[in-house]
Structure 1
Amino acid sequence: MKAWVESLKSGLPGKDVSPLQFFGKHGISVAFIVCMVVFSLASSKFLSADNFLTVVMQASIIGTIALGVTFVVIGGNLDLSVGSLLSFATVLVVDLHDKVDPAMAIALMFLFTLLVGALNGYLIGYLKLNSLIVTLGMLSAIQGITLVYTGGKNVGISDQENTWFAFFGRGDLFGIPVPALLFITLGIVLQIVLVKTGFGRKIFAIGGNGTAALFSGLRRNRLVFSTYLLSAFTTGCAALILGSRVMGSQNNVGEGYELLVLAGIILGGTSLLGGSGSIVRTIIGVLILAFIQNGLLLLGYPYYTQWLVTWVVIIVAVWLDIAAKRGKLLSTY
């Protein structure tokens, strides 16, 4: 928190920093503060400890997926398969819980998700196919596999009260929900990987200028491959949380999650063109979406209002980001 505040101070508008550049760099932080202030004034329940933890826990599934997808986007690619992968991974871990022991169910679920990530990574990294087309096709394929696997039926855990599997989605440590702890802990680890390791710097390099990175000796195919493995791993973590929380799963439980994940990443300021982004900013972007939805519900607005407000927030965030890079709010061409 102290480092975050210092970064805001260092970027305050002055002789060398215009207001537009400031909002382009710190707009997401300012938006988060404004969001919290507005809703806290409108509802006394908004900033309560219980409500705060509830929102973070609800955001943990989308947020956990977004952590891995952030690496993919920084590397200059997209992953639209995470929604269907979440559906199948959740169905798989819940269905296998009663057929084998929970530990084996979790291991097999992660094995499958990593295989999907490896297939995406191979097609995009080594065969150099378009990431949008590949992952969009994978989205459909995995959803079809899910329906074939279940026969169109929902799955559930029979003895929900006497299984340690519930810990991941329903447990708490020191009064903090386990899903929130897993989300934040994984976020901290991946932020360190992104900014403090050679691997993270290479991901920025291939996303910023793939040709230059190639001539610099970086193995772009391996790096792209690894980002899709990471995306699959975080999706598996989200499936573990979701399956453990609900103790069951529908065939389409992950439908639409890929769009919410991308919305949080874009709102966090990660460029869809690659080469820039931050795990911390992705977490803030996901939390802004979650707090907006929560605040609107507390104020009694209908559910569809959340989508309209979310759309406006994302458009403004992207506009400010582009405007800051161009140096002007409106383009004349």
Structure 2
Amino acid sequence: MAGLTKQGVAGFLAKQGILVAFVVFMIVFTLANPRFIDIDNISGVVRSSAILGVMALGVTFVVIGGNLDLSVGSMMSFSTIVVLDLHDKIGPALAIPAMFALTLCLGAFIGILVGYLKLNSLIVTLGMLSAIHGLTLTWSGGKNMDIADKEGTWFAVFGQGSILGIPTPILLFALVAAVLGIVLSKTPFGRKIYAVGGNGTAATFSGVPRARVVFLTYLVSSLCVAIAGLMQASRSLGSQNTVGQGMELEVLAAVILGGASLLGGSGTIFKTVIGVLILGFIQNGLLLVGLPFYVQYVVTWVIIILAVWLDIAAKRGRLLSPIA
């Protein structure tokens, strides 16, 4: 009985330990600063997490399919700079679809390399991280972008507006999560993603077009990056050309925190949303208790290590390896 109890506790911690840690964080932060659970603060955290969240939703498709995408940060910088630059040149009505088209082309290129040419996704997207950053600097001439007439444009609605008192970024995050959640859990395409990520060879022998599925997951990821870039550009109506730098690690941390396995084949959109909120509330809590902003980077690193450890532990059914 003691052995079963020990295994049961280990299994629970392996699968739900991050949620337990989140609850502990919430309690500690609330005791340290009661403002932590104010409605305004909660709304602010969700709103500020929306851009990261939308990107994480797309990367969830890629990770479940058994691959990685480390290019999303640089790609978000690119989409933000492009839509801001084109806003003043051709107007927002044309700038937005043009930015989406260019961003999707980048996602399609990655999808071809990983899906059809079967190159390693880590190497490809790591290389694309640098390449897209260079493309962004080339497009902007190394300068930051600002909209000339910030008062006379409707473009701000995507990042600063609200509908029925709910901030537009939160609504966009919820809408994208709802649509992608249905696609992933209720459609044949979603089931094919799980099959390819779980066992690509078996999926291929079962008639699943593995290359096409992988290609489409990167298209979904780039689509979400374009939406995030639109929200980022609209929120400030200006941007640095490195606005997305480093976000790929936060995105990956949120996806893994939500339960998506680095080995592929598992994960859900709903749990990714939870992972995004965990990161957002932990970072907000650290600031409210008076810790410097750069502590967030250390905490994010610890969270990534913890999430990967729990993911591996869940696969083997114990927190420590048999050797340990």
Deviation at 1:163, TM superposition (A): 1.0
Where does residue 325 of structure 1 map in the other structure? 315
Alignment match of 1:209 (pick from 195, 199, 213): 199
Where does residue 45 of structure 1 map in the other structure? 35
Distance 2:271 2:169 in 1: 19
Mapping for residues 1-333 of structure 1, pairs under 5 Å: 18-333=8-323
AA paired with 1:157? I
Retained in 2: the 8 A contact 1:243–1:249? yes
Distance 1:302 1:66 in 2: 25
Distance 2:67 2:143 in 1: 34
Distance 1:217 1:156 in 2: 49
Provide TM-score, normalisation by structure 2.
Answer: 0.94
Structure 2: segments with no counterpart, 5+ residues: none
Distance 1:307 1:264 in 2: 14
AA paired with 1:302? P
Distance 1:235 1:327 in 2: 35
Where does residue 10 of structure 1 map in the other structure? none
AA paired with 1:224? V
Deviation at 1:31, TM superposition (A): 3.4
Distance 1:62 1:110 in 2: 18
Deviations 1:7-29 (CA, angstroms, capped at 9, x unpaired): xxxxxxx98x8122223333343
Retained in 2: the 8 A contact 1:35–1:288? no
Number of matched pairs: 320
Larger mean CA deviation between 68-77 and 319-328 belongs to 319-328
Larger mean CA deviation between 97-106 and 130-139 belongs to 130-139
Distance 1:278 1:94 in 2: 33
Larger mean CA deviation between 29-38 and 84-93 belongs to 29-38
Larger mean CA deviation between 222-231 and 126-135 belongs to 126-135
**Distance of aligned partners of 1:317 and 1:133 in 2 relative to their CA distance in 1, 3 Å threshold:** closer
Deviation at 1:133, TM superposition (A): 1.4
Give me the CA root mean square deviation.
1.7
Distance 2:179 2:19 in 1: 21
Deviations 1:167-189 (CA, angstroms, capped at 9, x unpaired): 00001112211111111221122
Structure 1: segments with no counterpart, 5+ residues: 1-13
Deviation at 1:246, TM superposition (A): 1.1
Retained in 2: the 8 A contact 1:63–1:286? yes
Distance 1:196 1:229 in 2: 19
Deviations 1:79-136 (CA, angstroms, capped at 9, x unpaired): 1111111111100001111111201000000000110111111111111111111111
Retained in 2: the 8 A contact 1:75–1:207? yes
Larger mean CA deviation between 314-323 and 58-67 belongs to 314-323
AA paired with 1:106? I
Deviation at 1:77, TM superposition (A): 0.7
Deviations 1:35-71 (CA, angstroms, capped at 9, x unpaired): 3222222211111111111111111111110100110
Distance 1:122 1:320 in 2: 32
